[in-house]
Structure 1
Amino acid sequence: MTSISARRLGKELTEIKAEGCPVGINLVKADDFATWWFTIEVMGESLYQGEKYTLQFRFDSNYPISSPAVQFVVGDGKVSPVHPHVYSNGHICASILGNEWSPVLSVIAVCVTIQSMLASCKKKERPTDNDRYIRFAPDNPKKTRFHYDDDTV
């Protein structure tokens, strides 16, 4: 971990602990600057009302210049939301985690964006290529070159 990454993550964690998280987002664990976990749920009326999911953030030494690897935790009773941009293995096809990442984005900003993505969904369904993708997907979703062509769900 570089000093830039450690400083930035330390600052974000201090802010989260001092100010708390937005409604529906909770820090579960952040013992180091390698991996953090949050729970996320959509507040208000939505297809996901009453459902809670766990997000995992993995940081490399280039954070915040490079995006964190973010995915829903699957296993041990946890599932990923059924959503057109979320694969059943928990990988998320979202441009802010790929080619539209910006170092000004924070962990909380990513959580809020994913919460909003779920809240605006009109139909619970998996991506059309889910079965093929999960068969060949790498462990780290950042190693996938997603094609971003639908921002309407």
Structure 2
Amino acid sequence: MYEFQALDQITQVSAATQEMVSQLQSGAAGAVVDMSKAKQMAEEASEEASKSGEALTDILAAVNSIVEMTTQIASATEQQRATAAEMTQNVEISSGAIEELAGDISQVNQSSRSLADMADQLNTLMDASAPVSNCAARGPGPASGVCSGCCDR
């Protein structure tokens, strides 16, 4: 009987061992599946990281482009400011020159009026000093009877 008991124990141990091996194989297969899934997820994460890196590179290029455009706009704005300042200065200079010219024109007008007044006075003096005999309108004059231009006739 002892042999049967030993055989029975060996059978039980063998069955338990077979059960353990089966569980280990099942666990190993599950681990392989899990590792395969983890590998696939790692590859997908790597692809996403690569895409993210490319997107960041594109974003950086866009930001650099914007910075360059902003610099060009700032430069153009500075040039326009300088041009506007120069134009303002030219307008101020022109305004001063126009004011000076207006003053000169006023002086010329005043001088012209003074000359006209002097010419009138001279004509009056000439008329007063002209001999009456030379004027047909004022009385006896030259034999031709034509006025010499001393009056309006």
TM-score with structure 2 setting the length: 0.16
If asked which structure has higher relative contact order (CA below 8 Å, sep 6+), I would say 1
TM-score with structure 1 setting the length: 0.16
Structure with greater proportional strand content: 1
Structure with greater proportional helix content: 2
